[in-house]
Amino acid sequence: MSFYVTTPIYYGNGDPHLGHAYSTMAADILARHMRQRGEDVFFLTGTDEHGEPIAQAAEKQGITPQQLVDRSAERFRDMGRKLGATNDFFIRTTDPQHEDEVQRLIARMHERGDIYKGTYGGWYCTSCEAFYVESELDEGRNCPIHRRPVEWIEEDNWFFRLSAFRDRLLAHYDAHPGFVRPQARGNEARRMIELGLEDLSLSRAQVEWGVPVPWDPDQTIYVWIDALFNYWTALQYARPGEDLVARLWPPSVQLMAKDILKFHAVIWPALLMSAGLELPERLFIHGYVLKGGERLSKTTGNVVDPFPYIERYGLDALRYYLAREIRFGEDGTFTDETFAQRYASELANDLGNLLSRTVRMVERYRDGVVPADPGDDAELAAEVAGRVDAVREAFDRLDLTGALEAAWGLVRRLNQLVEQRKPWELAKDPANDRGLDQTLASLAEGLRAVAILVWPYIPGSAEKVLGAIGQPPDGVGLDRAAWGAGVPDARVAPVPPLFPRVEVAAT
C-alpha cells in the first residue's frame, strides 16, 4: 500500500520557526511509522516561492526574488535536516518542472470551461495573499489572521468558477465523512461551502513574480493556485523516469494548521475536480503551537527558534516534547518549564534510567548476556501486544499524541516491574535464579518493544536503546515489536546516559 503524506509548502520569504518545524515533524513521525509498517511511503515538503510579498521582501533587501527564495529554500531544507525529517523530496515552486505542470493544469481547467475573464474588486491582505469579504474583516477592516489593514484592489483578471463546484463539494463531503479531520474542522469547511462560494480570481495583472497564464502571459497565476498544485506537480519530476502518480496519487494525508483550511478543504478539492484529478483521502488540521497565548507567527513577531532547544536538549527531546505536550489536533502551549520537566521526568528518568538500570543489572548479574526468556511473563507479553495494537490504532486516527502515550505506558509498566520484582533482592539468593532471569529477560524484551514503538518520535535514542541491549539498531519494523522477536543471546553494550542532565535553563 502506498502512503503519500505532505506538509504545507512554507513561504519563501521568512525564516523557519517552531510552527513550521511542528508540521514537518508531525509528517515525519507519521511517515516513519508507516514505513515501520512496510508501507510504500512518500513524504513531501518544500517552499512556496512566488507572489507579491516575496517580490517586495526581495526589493527591500536589495536582492532579486530568486536570490531571496534560494536563500530561504536552503534555510527550510536545513530545518528539515536538523529535525531529522525523512522527506523523500523537497519541492520549490520555482522549479521549472513545477511551473510547466501548473501551466498545463490551468490550461486544462480553461479548456473545460472553468476559467473565464472578469473584473475583480475586493479587500486583499498582502500577507495572506488572499481576498476577504467585508464580513470576514473586523471593524478596523483588518485581516482576521494578521490583524493588519487590507487594501481594496480592482483589476481585470481570470476567474475560476468555484461557485459551480458547490454541490459537487458537498456531495464529496457527504460521501467521505473522514475527508477533513478533526471533525470540527470538517464541519467548519462544510459550512463555508454551504454558505455559498464566490468565484475565485485566479490571476494577477500586477504581480510579475509568478507563473504566467499560458494563454495570457501579461497575467501571472495567483500564487495560491500555483502553490496548491505542488502536491501534484512534485510527483511529475521527483523521480525522473518513474511514474509516481500511478504509485502514489492521491495523497493519503495532507497536514496543515487551520490558517489554511479554506484553501485546502474548499479550493483545493475544487481545483482537482476541475483538473480531473482524484481528491486527497484525508486532510488533517493540527493545532497551533502557542506561546504566551498567541500562535507563533512571523507577522505577530511571536516566534520561537527550534534550534537552540535542539542544541541544548538534543533533537529527540524536541520531537518528543512537541508530540507529547501539544495534543495533536488541538492548540497547545510551548513553555520552557514544561519542556524541562518532561525532559527530566519522562525522557531522562522514565526511559533513560530504565535503560541504564537494565543494562547495569544484566552486566552485574548475568555477565552482560541477556538471559533467554523462560516464558513466565505471559501478562507482560500480552501487554506489549496490546500496546502495539493501540499504537497502530492511534496512528490510524492520526492521534500522534495518543500513540506516544500508549507506547509510554509500556515504559511505565517496565519501571513498575523493576520496583515490584526488585532484581537486586532476587540476586541475593540463587534459588531465585529463574525469577531473576525472567525479570531481566522481560526488561530487555520490553525495552526492545518500547524502542520500536517510540522510534518514529525519537529515532536516534530508540536506536541507541536497541544497541545498548544488543539488538540491531535497524530492526525497527513494527512486526518486530512482537514479544520474542529479538535476537537471542544478546550482549548488552553500556552507553552514556540517553538524556543527560541539562544544567542551564532554556531561554
The binding site for ligand MSP (CB under 6 A) comprises: 8-11, 19-20, 22-23, 48, 227-228, 230, 256-257, 259-260, 288-289, 295-297
Q: How far is the CB of 121 from ligand MSP (least distance, A)?
A: 24
C-alpha torsion 146→150→153→159, nearest 10: 40
Beta strands across the sheet bearing 115-125: 130-132, 115-125, 151-160, 200-201
Alpha-carbon gap, residue 325 to 331, rounded angstroms: 10
Nearer to ligand MSP, 227 or 272 (CB): 227
Q: How far is the CB of 4 from ligand MSP (least distance, A)?
A: 15
For 195-330, where are the alpha helices, taking DSSP H only? Answer: 223-228, 230-237, 244-248, 261-262, 268-275, 307-313, 315-325
Determine whether 317 is exposed, middle or buried from the number of CB atoms within 10 Å of its CB (0-12, 13-18, 19+).
buried
Q: How far is the CB of 296 from ligand MSP (least distance, A)?
A: 4
Nearer to ligand MSP, 253 or 388 (CB): 253
Strand partners, 151: 124
Task: Give counts: helices (H), strands (E), the chain.
Answer: 20, 16
Q: How far is the CB of 125 from ligand MSP (least distance, A)?
A: 12
Q: Kind of pairing, strands 294-295 and 289-291?
A: antiparallel
Task: Put residue 291 in one of left, alpha, beta given phi > 0 → left and psi -120 to 50 → alpha.
Answer: beta
Q: What angle in degrees, to the nearest 10, is found between the helix axes of 315-325 and 18-36?
A: 90
Nearer to ligand MSP, 3 or 11 (CB): 11
Nearer to ligand MSP, 18 or 465 (CB): 18
Nearer to ligand MSP, 106 or 444 (CB): 106
Q: Which residue is nearest to ligand MSP (CB)?
A: 19
Using DSSP's 3-state secondary structure scheme, residue 156 falls into strand
Q: Which three cell numbers stand for residue 181?
A: 479531520
Nearer to ligand MSP, 255 or 427 (CB): 255
Residue 221 and residue 212 in contact, taking contact as beta carbons nearer than 8 Å: yes
Q: How far is the CB of 97 from ligand MSP (least distance, A)?
A: 17
Q: How far is the CB of 230 from ligand MSP (least distance, A)?
A: 6
Q: Which three cell numbers stand for residue 471?
A: 539488538
Q: What angle in degrees, to the nearest 10, is found between the helix axes of 166-175 and 183-194?
A: 160
Nearer to ligand MSP, 29 or 427 (CB): 29
Nearer to ligand MSP, 36 or 233 (CB): 233
Q: How far is the CB of 43 from ligand MSP (least distance, A)?
A: 14
Nearer to ligand MSP, 260 or 411 (CB): 260
Q: How far is the CB of 297 from ligand MSP (least distance, A)?
A: 6
Q: Which residues of 435-454 are buried (b: 16+ CB within 10 A; e: fewer)?
A: bbbbbbbbbbbbbbbbbbbb
Nearer to ligand MSP, 46 or 314 (CB): 46
Residue 22 and residue 322 in contact, taking contact as beta carbons nearer than 8 Å: yes
Q: Which three cell numbers stand for residue 451?
A: 524502542
Q: How far is the CB of 479 from ligand MSP (least distance, A)?
A: 32
Nearer to ligand MSP, 179 or 499 (CB): 179
Q: How far is the CB of 6 from ligand MSP (least distance, A)?
A: 8
Q: What angle in degrees, to the nearest 10, is found between the helix axes of 18-36 and 65-82?
A: 50
| Residue 371 DSSP code | P
Q: How far is the CB of 163 from ligand MSP (least distance, A)?
A: 22
- How many other CB atoms are found less than 10 A from the CB of residue 211? 23
